[in-house]
Structure 1
Amino acid sequence: MAKKKKVTSKENPSALDHTVAYVKSFIKDRNVASVTPTSSHVVNQICDRMRFDRDLTVIEYGAGTGVFTFELLKRMTPGSRLLAFETNPDLAELLEKHNDLRLAVSTESAARVSEVRNDIGLPAADYILSGIPFSFFDAGLRREIVLKTYDNIRPEGRFLVYQASWMMKDLIEEIFGNIDTDSYLLNIPPMFLMDAIRN
């Protein structure tokens, strides 16, 4: 009888692997937004705003170690697709170790969402979820990313942005129109959600 193959941490990264990789990346990379990943409570609260009862195209900016990525995959149908952007190569490599045919990982900037989406043949997104630290970007790049996001969401699709401040609220409201907001003050750091619908 053939021996059962042992699953190693390299093939299936543990929670500790994720935490260590995240902290190392925070120290080395100024574009990693927070010293700790978003809490599972906030992840669930934000994902509860999304409907998963049909095949979806979802795009995630700033996937990090995958706290949202893997919750999305857990909830998504077998026919759904998820494109995760993560510019930090160490974190992107960690994401790619989770073999799921529905997941594509890109190390490009979110400003190149149109090119990456078209290259892999994805339709316009039902949801784009963003945790990238917009406060680290200049005003021109912030506007470019939000405009490109609008162009890559289908009509009635949604842009969900979670940040450590309300800094992006006016820009998102200018481009998308009225937005819904929420606060998660028990997260470290506190998290603020902007949920915009494309008309």
Structure 2
Amino acid sequence: MDPASSSPRTENTSAKRSPDSFSFFRGFLKEPRQVGSIIPSSPILERRLSTFARVPSARRIVELGPGTGGTTRALLRHMTEDAALMSIEANPLFIDRLQQIDDPRLAVQHGDALQVRELLNQAEWNNADLVISGIPFSTMDQETGRKLIADIHSLLSPNGAFVAYQIRDRVCNLAKGSFGRPDKCTVWRNIPPLRIFRWEKTAPVKHRER
């Protein structure tokens, strides 16, 4: 067997980084409230995010705000072959770059994060095991942020997880009513440094009949 055929898929990320950075900056200028930073995530953040989110254990994954696709590619590298990823992006400048990712497990949807339930229904997904969000909750009003998080909670399977990577921690206050307190870590080797928050949807307790 060719050793290369059994090794993890790798990419020349440095070649992608420059055009992605330009596209990301253009997207930030067009929709600054929807884009969390003026440059894409670092490879270090992408790897840490995939590990912290426990991507290999999820079969159906939803990504909110994939941007130019750096985190999308990282998720695909860590996913199992039978898993599926739906990436939902509102910014039309990013859609073309996302659609250039050649992987049958990926479905790119042009839409708002608040349409997540509708988009899952269209894809005939009853639920998701993991929702990962890079959209900035710090720019949302309280009502919108809480509604989105409640929608995410409702579509997660039992013991499913919601993971958000953010500059600020406002998402914790917004998620408190639906999820409680998160596990968290900080990735310093990113510009700017980002915090990753992870919540699990607690499975309902089954009571034995007496």
TM-score range, shorter chain: 0.7 to 0.9
Secondary structure of the residue aligned to 2:131 is strand
2:17 matches 1:15: yes
Secondary structure of the residue aligned to 2:114 is helix
Describe how 1:101-180 pairs up with structure 2 within 5 A: 101-180=104-183
Q: Where does the alignment leave 5 or more consecutive residues of structure 1 unmatched?
A: 1-12
Computed over aligned residues only, the root mean square deviation of the Cα atoms, in angstroms, reads 1.7
- CA shift digits 1:99-146 (9 cap, x unpaired): 222111112111111110010122411110011011222111101110
Letter in 1 for 2:142: A
Contact 2:58 2:130 in 1 (8 A): no
Aligned pair count? 187
Letter in 2 for 1:18: D
2:165 matches 1:184: no
Letter in 2 for 1:116: L
Q: What is the aligned counterpart of 1:56 among 53, 59, 68?
A: 59
Q: Distance in 2 between matches of 1:138 and 1:55?
A: 30
State the match for 1:82 in structure 2: 85
Q: Where does the alignment leave 5 or more consecutive residues of structure 2 unmatched?
A: 1-14, 203-210
**Cα drift, residue 49 of structure 1:** 2.1
The sequence identity of aligned pairs, in percent, is 29
- CA shift digits 1:69-116 (9 cap, x unpaired): 001111212211101011001101110111222111112111111110
Q: Distance in 1 between matches of 2:57 and 2:183?
A: 23
Describe how 1:89-100 pairs up with structure 2 within 5 A: 89-100=92-103
Secondary structure of the residue aligned to 1:47 is helix
Identify the structure with the greater helix proportion: 2
Letter in 2 for 1:124: N
**Cα drift, residue 160 of structure 1:** 0.5
State the match for 2:196 in structure 1: 193
Contact 1:55 1:79 in 2 (8 A): no
Runs of 4+ that moved beyond 3 A: 50-55
Q: Distance in 1 between matches of 2:183 and 2:55?
A: 20
Secondary structure of the residue aligned to 1:48 is helix
Secondary structure of the residue aligned to 1:168 is helix
**Cα drift, residue 51 of structure 1:** 3.6
State the match for 2:208 in structure 1: none
Contact 2:186 2:195 in 1 (8 A): yes
**Cα drift, residue 52 of structure 1:** 4.8
State the match for 1:27 in structure 2: 29
**Cα drift, residue 61 of structure 1:** 0.6
Query: TM-score, normalised on structure 1?
Result: 0.87
